[in-house]
A and B are shown apart, each in its own frame.
Chain A
């Protein structure tokens, strides 16, 4: 009996700005096999289906349990984590391509720096670097915990950005994930300290107003974060902030 195999088509790119090409591979099947283990097989024996020797396919990964977001790529055109993409659930040949909203470093590796820079820009942190111990903060209500737990699941995988029609070369929208984190940190007991700065930044270049309400983000999020609700909540915070700011402005 012939051994069961998995066929893959991989979009290759030798470096930033290099011309992309497609390569066809075949690797042995195994029960419960995921896309990452197919890529490991290819790395062991980098030979295409046509028998031509090639370089190992490069990809990013870290946790291998769908919590770090690093291995996100387009699997059969859909952005998802390749670690939790099981071969048996996918149509073959499995098409692997890098995310399209970030610069490609090589093959399936993209530079998601833009997203991390935006988290910095929107102060997605709890300010604890004081000159004296601030003691324990107030407790969160159970209701707020529920909301924050949902938003805390974000792993900056950028699936939401990949499917967002407002993120492209003609618009510099920061994307849904960052807005979710703004809500997350504003809801922290220390939130009010930085809230004004976060919301003011949200009114700046590529801020919340660039959202076009296609609501693809919430459908694509592998962590089921209620991104539309987060955008609406931050939209409300920005509305109130902007009106107050105008009324107080000198």
Chain B
């Protein structure tokens, strides 16, 4: 293979770019769609079906989300490996941000893999599944609920801090004032995103969807659904 000039530079800037463009935009869309759950199961399932019905959806998922995510993760591991993690006493706040940006990557990766495999890949196989009811069942498990909350908060922090530092990396915020303003705006974006995601979980609580119980039971009995799979696994473990 011929040596690509400025390979590390290009990869590092691509890492920054893939964090901002597909990921932040996708998060905003995802959490917005989740929030339909606050208007009821039907509205949420409609919204989810609408997105699933996008033209070229499989191409968007593979080339617009999957590959950029995979690259961001792979190159991110290299970046994490190249850093030092002692906190410098003169600069605790910014130094902690640097460390947390790298530390949060691990819960995010664990959550992302779990979430995508269970909800998108396994769940997506069956066509007549009730996504809302599935999520009600997921959140009924307190451990999974906590896992989701941690995953969401870490993702939103990683995203917000990433926006602020990318602005410096690309040379957008050159002076201290603009860096502070960008930091505040990024924090706002992070708070709005996590607020939207966490608030929308209310729409998946069993109290909010008493009719979900029936759908859950039906899915647990239907072999093509992920709930059936999880239920069978539970059976195996027990």
Interface positions of A (Cβ within 8 A of B): 78, 163, 165-166, 168, 170-171, 203-205, 207-216, 218-220, 226, 228-229, 231-240, 242
5 residue pairs of the A-B complex, CB under 8 angstroms, read: A163-B91, A203-B9, A210-B12, A232-B171, A239-B171
Nearest first, the 5 closest Cβ-Cβ pairs linking A and B are A236-B171, A214-B98, A219-B91, A209-B12, A165-B84
The answer on a CB contact under 8 Å between A170 and B175 is no
Residues 165-180 of B contacting A (Cβ, < 8 Å): 165, 168-176, 179
A67 vs chain B, min Cβ distance (A): 21
Q: Hey, which chain B residues are within 8 Å of A236, CB to CB?
A: 170-172, 174
Which one, B6, B84, B94, B172, contacts A168 given CB within 8 A? B84
Q: CA of A171 to CA of B79 in the docked complex: distance in angstroms? A: 9
Q: Hey, which chain B residues are within 8 Å of A171, CB to CB?
A: 82-83
With A163-B90, A209-B12, A220-B88 as contacts: A214 and B168 at CB distance below 8 Å: no
Name which residue of chain B comes closest to A77, CB basis: B89
Does B8 interact with chain A (Cβ within 8 Å)? Answer: yes
Does B120 interact with chain A (Cβ within 8 Å)? Answer: no
Q: Hey, which chain A residues are within 8 Å of B115, CB to CB?
A: none
Which one, B6, B97, B168, B173, contacts A203 given CB within 8 A? B6
Does B81 interact with chain A (Cβ within 8 Å)? Answer: yes
Q: Mark B73-117, 1 if CB is under 8 A from A, else 0.
A: 000000101111110111100110111000000000000000000
Query: A165-B86, A214-B94 given. 8 additional CB < 8 A pairs?
Result: A209-B8, A212-B98, A214-B95, A215-B98, A216-B94, A228-B168, A236-B171, A242-B6
Which one, B6, B90, B170, contacts A235 given CB within 8 A? B170
Q: Hey, which chain A residues are within 8 Å of B175, CB to CB?
A: 229, 232
Q: CA of A209 to CA of B14 in the docked complex: distance in angstroms? A: 11
The answer on a CB contact under 8 Å between A232 and B98 is no
The answer on a CB contact under 8 Å between B98 and A220 is no
The answer on a CB contact under 8 Å between B168 and A213 is yes
Q: Hey, which chain A residues are within 8 Å of B99, CB to CB?
A: 214
A237 vs chain B, min Cβ distance (A): 7
